[in-house]
Structure 1
Amino acid sequence: MTTAYEPEITALLCVDLYNDFLTEGGKLYPWVKDIAEANDMHENLRTLVAAAREKGITVYHVPHHRWEPGDYQDWKYPSPYQLGAAERQAFAKDTWGGTFHDDFQVQDGDVVATEHWASSGFPNTDLEHKLKRFGKEKIICVGLLANTCLEATARIGMELGFHTTLVRDATAARSEEALHAALNIDGPTYAHEVLTTAEVIHALG
């Protein structure tokens, strides 16, 4: 690994760090619980966010759409995942589940992108604009799920010209197979680096 993460051009993208994903009692927490615990995901996320702040790397919050009544009713082709999210009211607006976890609240100097409706944090949001507006060229992508929103965001980031890093133990998936596919099969086809938290921290100096 030879990448340097210069603070002035690097951003840490935190994808969908909601209570519904990260906390016991969250609607989607059972999906990721076993893998997240095996990865020590939560502690690694805390470590990366704290290190980014310490080094002057901007933290970007990349939030999924928060469910509201009527979502997708007039859509012609909502995806099965979107319909499933609506059925279980995942990340419902103005609820505990649709709130960023206490460890990952927005702080002064952070950037919050507009909510994405499908998997990627880029289409139909201001994420690209807010990255380029502040001169960010390198994105370190963490969060959930490894094979859906995280992969889609990171992949489109590469397509848009960003240097893209995935962090193996700062994500999770519903199965080991999905995690393996995201990090070991798909990831190396587009990501410039696929690292561990320890490797990222070392690169940050």
Structure 2
Amino acid sequence: MDIAENAALVVVDVQQGFEDLDFWGTRNNPGADENIASLIDAWQASGRPVVFVRHDSVGPRSPLRPGQPGNAFKQYVEARRGKGGAEAELLVAKSVNSAFYGSPDLDAWLKGAGISQIAVVGIQTNMCAETTARMGGNLGYDVLFVYDATYTFGLEGPFGWRREAEELAQATAVTLHGGGFARVVTTGEVLDAAG
């Protein structure tokens, strides 16, 4: 795997509100936060750009809505912001699933910087991380979806169906990889290639 010298790491919605398990339920992949932190560190050490994406929920009960403590980035992410230099960092705020529908315009920023490869990490695997990866693929980016640097929660669907977090995460990986939206990879593979 080749990681471009200017590949952008897109860190999706790693916010304190996702610690509210009474609201979200049971999560998968307890190692995700450590993997996200190591990828941010590697990107910043190499001078590659990092995009921090924050979800400003419009849901009246969401712990991610602006003005609530849960809207803030998790402490380990906040501590790393600003370490990559102004030219190598972007903050995108959004209120929908895709980071490409946030402000400022992520697609315009990436294209303006000549970036054609992105690595997507963050929360939730099958929601905002997946939607960002799908749109990135549709827009022509070479998308790496770092599976073990994401996590999600179980979910109720139609017809009384319920899927647990790990099932949903695996379904996302199969759809993204099998559908040609992204290459699904691991943190270890990415760190080896980016070094």
Instruction: Tell whether the structures are fold-level matches, with TM greater than 0.5.
Output: yes
Q: How many residues get paired? A: 177
Instruction: Provide, for residues 99-145 of structure 1, a one-character-per-residue CA deviation record: whole Å limited to 9, x for no partner.
Output: 011111221332112x2222111135411111111111100000011
Q: How does 1:75-86 map to 2 (within 5 A)?
A: 86=59
Of 131, 134, 148, which aligns to 1:169? 148
Instruction: Provide, for residues 13-33 of structure 1, a one-character-per-residue CA deviation record: whole Å limited to 9, x for no partner.
Output: 000011112x4x46656442x
Corresponding residue SS for 2:193: helix
CA root-mean-square deviation: 1.9
Matched, 1:121 2:133: no
* TM-score normalised by structure 1 residue count: 0.79
Query: Which consecutive aligned stretches of 4+ in structure 1 deviate over 6 angstroms post-superposition?
Result: none
Partner of 2:53: 62
- Which letter does structure 2 place at the counterpart of 1:117? S
Q: Structure 1 residues 59 and 27 mapped into 2: Cα distance closer, same or farther (>3 Å)?
A: farther
Confirm or deny: 8 A CA contact 1:7 1:58 kept in the other structure. Answer: no
Distance 1:130 1:31 in 2: 35
Distance 2:44 2:193 in 1: 15
Distance 2:24 2:13 in 1: 12
Confirm or deny: 8 A CA contact 1:138 1:164 kept in the other structure. Answer: yes
Partner of 1:137: 116
Corresponding residue SS for 1:91: coil
Confirm or deny: 8 A CA contact 2:134 2:176 kept in the other structure. Answer: no
Q: How does 1:1-205 map to 2 (within 5 A)?
A: 3-8=1-6, 10-21=7-18, 23=19, 25=20, 30-32=25-27, 35-37=28-30, 40-64=31-55, 66-67=56-57, 71=58, 86-105=59-78, 106-107=81-82, 108-109=85-86, 110-113=89-92, 115-123=93-101, 125=103, 126-174=105-153, 175-205=165-195
Q: Structure 1 residues 94 and 43 mapped into 2: Cα distance closer, same or farther (>3 Å)?
A: same
Corresponding residue SS for 2:143: strand
Q: Structure 1 residues 27 and 48 mapped into 2: Cα distance closer, same or farther (>3 Å)?
A: farther
Corresponding residue SS for 2:99: coil
Corresponding residue SS for 1:118: coil
Matched-pair identity in %: 28
Corresponding residue SS for 1:49: helix
For structure 2, list consecutive stretches of 5 or more residues without a partner in the other structure.
Answer: 154-164
Corresponding residue SS for 2:95: coil
For structure 1, list consecutive stretches of 5 or more residues without a partner in the other structure.
Answer: 72-85
Confirm or deny: 8 A CA contact 1:61 1:112 kept in the other structure. Answer: yes
Q: Deviation at 1:188? A: 2.9
Distance 1:176 1:169 in 2: 11
Q: Structure 1 residues 124 and 92 mapped into 2: Cα distance closer, same or farther (>3 Å)?
A: closer
Confirm or deny: 8 A CA contact 1:144 1:172 kept in the other structure. Answer: yes
